[in-house]
Amino acid sequence: MTQKKKVFTGAGVALITPFRDGEVDYPALERILEQQIEGGTDAIIVCGTTAEAATLTDREHKEIISFSVEKVNHRVPVIAGAGSNHTDYAIELTRFSKDAGADAVLLVTPYYNKASQKSLVRHFQMIADAADIPNILYNVPSRTGLNISVNAYRELAKHPNIVAAKEASGNLSAILQVFEACGDDLAIYSGNDDQIVPLMAMGALGVISVLSNVMPRETHELTQLCLDGNFREAAKRQLEYLPLINGLFMQVNPIPVKAAMAKMGYCTGEMRMPLCEMDDADNEKLYALMRDAGLL
């Protein structure tokens, strides 16, 4: 098989979607995009979990992809969340993302209806066949109730458009088996900020990160240390950032990171139901962690 192209190496940000009065706040989104690029982020992922993609309308989803591609203007790769539990809709979003100029798509495993491993493979193969754009699979069983098996990964890695996986299963032993099974045919990105160094030590190319929303420079530098082979210093940084990383997941993502971004002045912090703001006590715990990290 021809060597597959790497979409990015380092730290890609799983970007929030800023809202104001129930609508997407595009001026705030543009400021956040610029803040990320100035902060050294290596890729921008829009319309994923952290972006509250589940509550975006079809129009908003597509507008955010087009807007982000236009504003970023090839300065870093833009990866569009295009996954769905409806295969035809995932194909539609994938084709749209390619036509809009996205550099890759992020495809979450089907949720709610789930799938057998056989149908899961067929689902991803149909999407990959539908448009010539790099596909990054997204394995997050805590949200979808579905885990990509090693055998399914092995089969999917044979497809030329399936180039990588965002692994957020948290199961290091299982991910190690994926490395062994797929080799160079499938790049791996950490989907968990608390596992950046362990996974990069195993060969991951980087992370798709929530932490990068508030610490783009630091997250980029952490991944660069790993890429440079300086795992001793990278491990020190991983542990240094761990309290804030845990704080950003003290409630379901993206509730805490939106509170953090609002405190830093990047957005209103508004979310869409069924997500709502934290209470004052949890906000103060988060702000204390942010002060300790030098963000406030």
C-alpha to C-alpha distance for 140 and 170, rounded to whole angstroms: 9
Residue 241 lies in a domain: no
Please write the tens of the pLDDT for every residue from 10-25. 999 999 999 999 999 9
Q: What whole-number distance in Å separates Cα of residue 123 and Cα of residue 92?
A: 13
- Domain membership of residue 196 (yes or no) is yes
- CATH number, domain of 177, equals 3.20.20.70
Closest CA to 17 of 8, 28, 9: 28
Q: What is the pLDDT of residues 173-193, one digit of tens each?
A: 999 999 999 999 999 999 999
Report yes or no on 236 lying in a domain: no
Which tens digits make up the pLDDT trace of 44-73? Answer: 999 999 999 999 999 999 999 999 999 999
Is pLDDT at 114 greater than 90 in this prediction? no
> What is the pLDDT, as a whole number, of residue 4?
85
Residues recognised as catalytic: 138, 166
What is residue 252's predicted lDDT score, i.e. its pLDDT? 95
Residue 73: how many other CB atoms lie within 10 Å: 11
Structure tokens at 167: 């692994």
Q: Is residue 238 one of the residues assigned to a domain?
A: no
Q: State which residues form the domain around 108.
A: 10-226
Evaluate if residue 223 carries a pLDDT over 70: yes
Q: Hunting for tokens 């499938």 — which residue is that?
A: 186
R_g of the chain computed on alpha carbons: 18
Residue 172 has pLDDT above 70, yes or no: yes
Q: In whole angstroms, give the CA distance from residue 220 to residue 189.
A: 13
The length of the chain in residues reads: 296
Residues 6+ apart with CB under 8 A from 23: none
Whether residue 237 lies inside any domain: the answer is no
Domain count across the chain: 1
Beta bridge partners of 214: none
Contact 68, 33 (CB under 8 A): yes
Q: Is residue 2's pLDDT more than 70?
A: no
H/E segment holding residue 208: strand 206-209
Mean pLDDT of 263-288: 96
On whether the CB atoms of residues 36 and 216 are closer than 8 A, the answer is yes
Q: Which SS3 state, helix, strand or coil, does residue 93 take?
A: helix
User: What are the tokens at 100?
Assistant: 């809009």
Q: Provide the percentage of residues in the chain whose pLDDT is more than 90.
A: 98
pLDDT in tens, 130-163: 999 999 999 999 999 999 999 999 999 999 999 9
Q: Rounded mean pLDDT of the chain? A: 97
Question: Would you state the pLDDT for residue 235?
Answer: 98
Q: Which of 131, 84, 91 minimizes the C-alpha distance to 111?
A: 84
The model's pTM: 0.95
Give me the pLDDT at residue 1, please.
55
Residue 263, pLDDT above cutoff 60: yes
Which residue bears the tokens 């504003």? 71
Reported as a single tens digit per residue, the pLDDT across 209-222 is: 999 999 999 999 99
Provide the 3-class DSSP secondary structure of residue 78: strand
Question: How far apart are the C-alpha atoms of 71 and 294, rounded to whole Å?
Answer: 29
Look at residue 286 and tell me if it is in a domain. no
- Whether 151 is covered by a domain: the verdict is yes
Is residue 194 one of the residues assigned to a domain?
yes
Q: How many CB atoms lie within 10 A of CB 145?
A: 13
Per-residue confidence (pLDDT) for residue 205, from 0 to 100: 98
Question: pLDDT (tens digit, 9 = 90+) per residue, 67-102?
Answer: 999 999 999 999 999 999 999 999 999 999 999 999
Name the residue with tokens 């990160």.
Answer: 209
